[in-house]
Amino acid sequence: MVTAPVPLAVDSFEDFRFFQALIEIKYQKANKYWDASGQLIETIEQRLPGLKCEKLEENGFRFSGASAGITVAQFYWDKVVLIQSASDPATRFLETAGEFFRLTSSALGVSKLERVGHRLWFYVPASREQAAARLKAVKLWTPTSHFGVWGNVLSEGSVLKTEHPDPKRTIRVELSVGELRGPSTPSVSGILVDIDFALPEPLAGSAFDLQDFARWNAKFAKQHLAELFT
């Protein structure tokens, strides 16, 4: 006799647990990259204590450690990447990320941004059976030919995709059953939620406020994510 899984309650944002955040800012190639990198590395390590330049990779200089929320950071001649892990205070990450980008854009002379993305990962702890049963009842915001149900939620790699209409940014959400693993966090399993906010249109670097952009995104997730489950 097969026992049905105990129903999984997802009634409010408090039922979600934060896992990780990633910010990626792409800009036009900065010709000052090679000349300015040495001084920029020194400035970042002084202004953001805890972050240390670890090595030069194919995609730029990589910093690791922990500085007020940032656990991994990277700058290159055409992008900045920032990662926050669950063990760090979310309230400080946006402020520190904004400072890292300001230092980088000033040193490299960044004038035009090509794309800005901010991804947030959450999860609801549950067994695979509980998570799959709960996902079958979610309410997609706007399923279309591009964002709808892909496969079966019980199948490995299957994802429910949806998007939320917004005049100023794209907001896309993926829901799945499985496991999350981060560079500095233990693996977790259950209902996995990946929210991707993006400003796809080019804009002047001087007109962009990273903290305001990311703060709006975090507030949106807190206010609306549970709508999919209630």
| Mean predicted lDDT score pLDDT of the chain | 82
Distance in angstroms (rounded) separating the CA atoms of residues 173 and 197: 9
Q: Percent of the chain at pLDDT above 90?
A: 30
In this predicted structure, the answer to whether residue 147 has a pLDDT above a threshold of 60 is no
Report in angstroms the alpha-carbon separations of 50 from 34, 70, 208: 24, 9, 26
DSSP 219: H
CA 59 from centroid of its chain's CA atoms: 18
Kindly state the average pLDDT of the residues 147-172. Answer: 65
Mean pLDDT of 46-51: 88
Which residue did the predictor score with more confidence, 27 or 9? 27
pLDDT reported for residue 207: 74
Burial class of residue 229 (count of CB atoms within 10 Å of its CB; 0-12, 13-18, 19+)? buried
- pTM here? 0.85
Q: In the predicted model, is pLDDT for residue 102 greater than 50?
A: yes
Task: Give the burial class of 13: count Cβ atoms within 10 A of its Cβ; 0-12 exposed, 13-18 middle, 19 or more buried.
Answer: middle
Q: What is the pLDDT of residue 142?
A: 61
Nearest to 229 by CA among 149, 148, 94, 135: 135
DSSP 8-state assignment for residue 1: -
DSSP 41-110: HHHHHHHSTTEEEEEEETTEEEEEEEETTEEEEEE-SSEEEEEEETTS-HHHHHHHHHHHHHHHHHHHT-
* pLDDT value, residue 158: 62
pLDDT of 79: 95
Query: What confidence category does residue 145 fall into, taking pLDDT thresholds of 50, 70 and 90?
Result: very low
Residue 119 has pLDDT above 70, yes or no: yes
* Cβ contact 8:126 at 8 Å: yes
pLDDT-based confidence at residue 109 (cuts at 50, 70, 90):
very high
Q: In this predicted structure, what is the pLDDT of residue 88?
A: 55
- Of the listed ranges 12-26, 71-85, 148-162, 208-222, the one predicted with least confidence: 148-162
Please tell me the predicted confidence (pLDDT) of residue 7: 65
Tokens 């560079």, located at residue: 183
Coil, helix or strand at residue 195:
strand
Judge contact between 153 and 135, C-beta under 8 A: yes
Contact predicate 52/66, CB 8 Å: no
Among 3, 101, 4, 90, which residue's Cα sits nearest to residue 43? 101
What type of residue sits at position 33?
Y
Most confident of 35-49, 55-69, 173-187: 35-49
One-letter amino acid of 173 = V
Cα distance between residue 1 and residue 90, in whole Å: 45
Extract the tokens encoding 220: 């949106």
Q: What is the pLDDT of residue 203?
A: 79
